[in-house]
Amino acid sequence: MAHELPPLPYDYGALEPYIDAETMRFHHDNHHAAYVKNLNAAVEKHSELQSMSPEDLLRNINDVPEDVRKTVRNNGGGHVNHTMFWQIMGPNGGGEPTGAIGDAIKQTFGSFDAFKEQFNKAAAGHFGSGWSWLVRTNDGQLQVTDTLNQDSPLMEGHYPIMGNDLWEHAYYLKYQNRKVEYFDAWFNVLNWDEINKRFEQAAA
Ligand code: MN3
C-alpha cells in the first residue's frame, strides 16, 4: 500500500500571523509531497517493505536493504516528521501546556518557561537543517534533543512528542535570517491537545 500525503488539518492561512499561508502551502504541497513520492519510489523496489508503516521503517532502519536505506531514512523521516508537525500545530493554539504533558514538563524542566528556553536553545544551537525535539526516551524520560536533516528520534528508540522544523523552507519566506524569532513565534501555534495525545501514545 502506497504512502499518502495527509491533508493539512486546517487552512493554509490558519497559522497566520506566526506562519504565513505561502510558507504552509509550499511546505505541505511541495516539500512534504516530495518526501512521500520519494519514499514510495524506494519501497516499490522491495516488496517486504511495502506492508510496513513509515514509523516501523524508521524504527528498523538498519534492516532496510542498503540500496534504499538512505532514501527511506531521509524521505520516510521527512514524511513522519511532517505528518507530526501539521498535527501538533493549529489555529488558536499556544499558551501554557495543559494536561499530563503540562505536568510532566513542569516536573522534568522545573517550569514551562525553562522548558521553552531549553527547547529553543537546542533549535538555535543546531547547525544546518534538522529538527528540535521533545522526546520520550526509551527509558521513559522527557528530553530535549535535536536531529540532523530528516532523522527521526524513532531511529534511536525515542518517541517524538513534539518537534520544530529547523529547515529554512519552514520559515525563510517570512523570517529570513531571523530564525530565533520564528522559534519563539512557533510556540503560539502549538496544539497542546494533540501533543497530549502523542504523550499518551509515547507511553503506550
Ligand atoms: Mn520541512
Residue 184, class by beta-carbon neighbours within 10 Å (0-12 exposed, 13-18 middle, 19+ buried)?
middle
- The domain defined by 20-87 folds into Helix Hairpins (1.10.287)
Q: Cα of 129 to ligand 1 centre, how many Å?
A: 9
Task: Output b/e per residue, 66-75; b: 16+ Cβ within 10 A.
Answer: eebbebbbbb
Q: Which residues, by Cβ under 5 Å, contact ligand 1, an ion? A: 165, 167
| Every domain range in the chain assigned CATH 1.10.287.990 | 20-87
77: three-class secondary structure by DSSP: helix
Q: Cα of 159 to ligand 1 centre, how many Å?
A: 19
Q: Cα of 133 to ligand 1 centre, how many Å?
A: 14
The pLDDT value recorded for residue 204 is 84
Q: Cα of 107 to ligand 1 centre, how many Å?
A: 30
Q: Cα of 98 to ligand 1 centre, how many Å?
A: 26
| Every domain range in the chain assigned CATH 3.55.40.20 | 99-203
Q: Cα of 153 to ligand 1 centre, how many Å?
A: 16
The pLDDT value recorded for residue 1 is 60
Q: CA-to-CA distance for 122 and 193, rounded, in angstroms?
A: 24
Q: Cα of 181 to ligand 1 centre, how many Å?
A: 17
The pLDDT value recorded for residue 191 is 98
Q: Cα of 32 to ligand 1 centre, how many Å?
A: 7
Q: Cα of 167 to ligand 1 centre, how many Å?
A: 6
Q: Cα of 81 to ligand 1 centre, how many Å?
A: 8
CATH architecture of residue range(s) 99-203 = 3-Layer(bab) Sandwich (3.55)
Per-residue pLDDT of the chain (204 residues; tens, 9 = 90+): 699 999 999 999 999 999 999 999 999 999 999 999 999 999 999 999 999 999 999 999 999 999 999 999 999 999 999 999 999 999 999 999 999 999 999 999 999 999 999 999 999 999 999 999 999 999 999 999 999 999 999 999 999 999 999 999 999 999 999 999 999 999 999 999 999 999 999 988
Q: Cα of 166 to ligand 1 centre, how many Å?
A: 8
Q: CA-to-CA distance for 103 and 194, rounded, in angstroms?
A: 15
Element (H, E) at 76: helix 66-87
